[in-house]
Amino acid sequence: MTTFTALTTMTGQDTADALAEALEALVPEPTGIGVFEVEDGSGLWEVGAYFTENPDQAGLAVLAAMHGVKDFTVSEIPDQDWVAKVQRELPPVPAGRFFVYGAHDADKVPADSIPLLIEAAMAFGTGHHGTTLGCLKAVDALAVAGVPMTKVADIGCGTAVLAMAAAHVTDAPIVASDIDPVAVDVAVANVAANGLADRVDCVVAAGFDAPALKERGLYDLVFANILKGPLIAIANDMSQAMQPGGHAILSGILNEQADDVVAHYARYGFNELARDSIVDWTTLTLVKSAS
């Protein structure tokens, strides 16, 4: 069955909520409506509607005009190709030297930036969430400081944006893993679109439990942009998988959870090097002690 999406962005939750409510009266009716904050500190909100038949695009245009927002981007998503088809026209995101953008913004890439092309399909990691943005800024800071990165893993990779960022600042072999096969499909597509297929291996795995991760030896840089619970659960495995002096960039952590995560990782030999809070989310950079 073909699905259709209609997506737009705006400033302010009140406008987003009002538009979402108005969408409920559209004919044909949407099967689902979502509202979420683009958590990069920009103040933007996204409203998305999902349909099982072609939506009334004229009606969508009227609603957008009535609420003073950008026109909806309507996409058709055949079942067999939905990963490649779902696109959000989100604005590009600068993060340190990195510039995360969709194909529709290819003409906006600054000449002095490190470009990361991401088509925002059904996987987490577009740079618009405070967690992804924090991780990009953290790895850029490590690279600028000259921190060695000889083996890199991106655990819970989503779109593989973090793995690709690492590929631009180091020659290290990189493995990107996710428990969700759909996310790995998205990661493979993004890695290929960025010309990094020979640099980043994408695999389905839970935590560090996969031959593709274990056979590479000890890592000196690991990303884990997941959530507090999974981060707590993999702390021991991460310690076993990392070299002394290696760095872990952790996110998916609410601001009020950060101290608990730091304290838990301290039990496994990690010390806090830096933290960055963006809106509601904290990114931690930890270093594994030598003993």
> What would the pLDDT profile of 62-76 be if each residue is shown by its tens digit?
999 999 999 998 887
Residue type present at position 10: M
CA 37 to chain CA centroid, Å, is 14
The whole-number pLDDT of residue 106 equals 77
Give the SS3 label for residue 58.
Answer: helix
Inform me whether the pLDDT recorded for 50 exceeds 70: yes
Inform me whether the pLDDT recorded for 80 exceeds 60: no
User: pLDDT band for position 125 (50/70/90)?
Assistant: very low
For residue 133, count other CB atoms closer than 10 A to its CB.
27
Residue with tokens 């496994």: 268
Rounded Cα distance between 65 and 59, Å, is 10
Torsion angle, CA of 126/136/104/118, rounded to 10 degrees? -50
User: pLDDT band for position 227 (50/70/90)?
Assistant: confident
Rounded Cα distance between 274 and 168, Å, is 22
Inter-residue contact 91 to 47 (CB < 8 Å) = no
Direct distance between the N- and C-terminal alpha carbons of the chain, in angstroms, rounded to an integer: 56
The secondary structure element, H or E, covering residue 186 is helix 181-193
- What integer is the mean pLDDT of 24-41? 80
Inter-residue contact 124 to 183 (CB < 8 Å) = yes
- What integer is the mean pLDDT of 210-234? 89
Inter-residue contact 222 to 241 (CB < 8 Å) = yes
Rounded Cα distance between 234 and 229, Å, is 9
Strand ranges (E), 157-225: 174-178, 200-204, 219-225
Report the DSSP pairing between strands 242-254 and 281-288. antiparallel
The whole-number pLDDT of residue 146 equals 93
